[in-house]
Amino acid sequence: MYEMIIKNGFVIDGTGKDPYISDVGINDGKIVCIGECHDNCELIINADGKIVSPGFIDAHTHSEIPLLVDGSTTTALRQGCTSLCVGNCGNSNFPIVEKNREYYEDLISKEFQFSMEKQKIHFEDFSSYKNALNKSGVTVNVIPLVGYDEIRSAAIGVTDAVPDSEQLDLMKHYLSQALEQGVFGMSTGLEYAPQIFSTTEDLIELSKILALQKRLYISHIRNMYDDLVGGIEEALQIGRETGVQLHLSHMQVNGYKYKGSVTDAVSVIEKAVSDGIKITYDFHPWTGGMSPSIKPLPAWVKTGGNQEIVKKLSDPSLAAKIKKEMQENPYYARYEDMFFPSLKNPDISGKFLTEIADILHVDPIDALFFVIIDEGGSCLMIEFTMYEEDIKAALSYPESVIGSDNFAVPEGMHSNHPRHVCCFPYMIEKYVNKEKIVSLPEMISKMTGKTASIFGLKDRGLIKEGQWADIVIFDAENITSNMDYKKPDAKPTGISYVIVNGEIVYENGEATEKRPGKVLEPSGQHILS
């Protein structure tokens, strides 16, 4: 007896093995038949000529709040995703203590650029966030992490201080509480304030708890510019001293000068693995990263809020001083690498800074000042400071997995960056179909089975009897990402069906109304343990 049979597809099972033709029978949310599944079941999907693969697991997203705003997660479904890891780069939306609430609300409204005032988006602990998700319902499964930023700030405030032993105990308390309530690990974003003020010793103390509970230490490392390997070494030290399982976020290097460093990073990781350290990483295919347009300004100019910044740049003598400083200390990204996807002024929107400078007949620094003033202090830009050779180096390591670094953009909201809409189809289209760098089964395993192993998901990530029926059905040869930094809302095509826990959540270009997603629970097991 089956609730659904997927007939005659090419099954790619998530292990990296070659495809085979088979039916897949589903009952009670799980895969119960592989081979010939005979039944006169009502729901038969004809997958003739299509790939039937485990649903994609996005190892790295920032969707913790978008999931509350719009549980349909259509942008994730269009890419074939059935599970999202949320709470990355050290930021989760809990534990938020009252004294920090305003700070985080302000941060989120700036970062996500959508109005959330009326929504309850910050929570005192993981349980209350989980309850809110369960109440509103989600289409996909959720793999939650707790952020180091929130743990630290709950204990000592948003400050550059180093915690004393009492405060460290309080941090341990917040971490233990989140682990007890069911998060898969702790994420860090050591490049960002206030996390930048962490010490390796604090992180080791917290990681001891993670190791004991068999949960992950997931790190956006301290340096992804001129000392990528140094940042990795810090994580390795934490791993060595505590035995915690390490996972590095978005393996990348930023800046023309450091192009090629990912190759060195991968060698360091291979060596660590051969020495017995438990370490993995995820990566994305983007050469362009989002940054606030004020990022290239000297630190003193960026203080005091948007109005203050506009005031400084509008004062001719101050502007001249700032310009001189910027000329003397060049920013790591080149002006021809800075792209403004969406500005109020249509004449300069969708252009590189050097193009804007030509239009305005000024030099690039003055053009940047013009943009910032025109936008009232800040807007987002894309900096093309990452390079194909580094993406390919990250891809070449067999154990690497895919994480889009996106958030599931709520329907109707402008996306700003293609990472939000097309990561997984783009990986297949570019590196499997066009460049033929990896085989399709190998690529699929980096999106499914291997990712499931890292998070210890024993019953997901594979097409196998007994697994939850998280499945994507797609046309491998005709999958199209429509990836275009100039059209960041363009939708990928080629994904026919997405099934979560045995229910169809996406069918021929549209999300269904169903919300069968679950907040997943850690099993305490990892492939590497």
Minimum CB distance to Zn ion, residue 89 (Å): 3
Query: With CB under 5 A as the contact rule, which of the stretches 38-46, 69-77, 87-95, 277-285 interacts with Zn ion?
Result: 87-95
Output the CA angle 185-266-460, nearest 5 degrees: 40
529 vs 526: CA distance, rounded Å:
5
Beta strands in 297-346 (DSSP E): 338-340
Q: Work out how close the CB of 19 gets to Zn ion at its nearest, in angstroms, rounded to a whole number.
A: 34
Nearest approach, Cβ of residue 418 and Zn ion (Å): 17
Which residues inside 162-201 make contact with Zn ion, applying CB under 5 A? none
Residues 260/350/484/498 CA torsion (nearest 10 deg): 120
The residue among 384 and 474 lying less far from Zn ion, judged by its C-beta, is 384
d(CA 22, CA 470): 16
Bridge pairing between strands 30-35 and 20-27 = antiparallel
**Residues 6 or more apart in contact with residue 336 via CB below 8 angstroms:** 352, 353, 354
C-alpha span between 467 and 235 (Å, rounded): 33
Task: Provide the residue type at 95 as one letter.
Answer: P
Closest of 114, 108, 112, 56 to residue 84, by C-alpha: 56
Binding mask 393-432 for Zn ion (x = CB under 5 A): ----------------------------------------
Minimum CB separation from Zn ion for residue 384, in Å? 18
Please measure the distance between the N-terminal and C-terminal CA atoms of the chain and give it in whole angstroms. Answer: 37
The nearest distance, CB 252 to Zn ion, in angstroms, is 9
Stretch that binds Zn ion, among 86-94, 166-174, 333-341, 406-414 (CB under 5 A): 86-94
Stretch that binds Zn ion, among 83-91, 226-234, 336-344, 453-461 (CB under 5 A): 83-91
284 contacts Zn ion (rule: CB under 5 A): no
**Of 43-51, 174-182, 216-224, 486-494: span binding Zn ion (CB under 5 A):** 216-224
Span of 217-225, 251-259, 364-372, 449-457 interacting with Zn ion by CB under 5 A:
217-225
Q: Which of residues 47, 89, 313, 498 is near Zn ion by CB under 5 A?
A: 89
Q: Closest approach of Cβ 86 to Zn ion, in Å? A: 13
| Nearest CB to Zn ion, comparing residues 223 and 482 | 223
Strand order of the β-sheet with 279-283 is: 146-147, 185-189, 216-220, 245-248, 279-283, 401-402
Among residues 319, 333, 308, 298, which one has the least CA distance to residue 367?
319
Cβ proximity to Zn ion, 23 vs 149, nearer residue: 149
Residue 293 beta carbon to Zn ion: minimum distance, rounded to whole angstroms? 19
Q: Are 239 and 277 in contact (CB under 8 A)?
A: yes
- Among residues 220, 312, 419, 450, which is the contact residue for Zn ion, using CB under 5 A? 220
Please tell me the count of residues contacting Zn ion according to CB under 5 A: 2
The minimum distance between CB 189 and Zn ion, in angstroms, equals: 5
Q: What is the dihedral of CA 414, 419, 424, 428, to 10 degrees?
A: 110
**Which among 8-16, 132-140, 212-220, 239-247 is the span making contact with Zn ion, rule CB under 5 A?**
212-220
Q: Which residues bind Zn ion (CB under 5 A)?
A: 89, 220
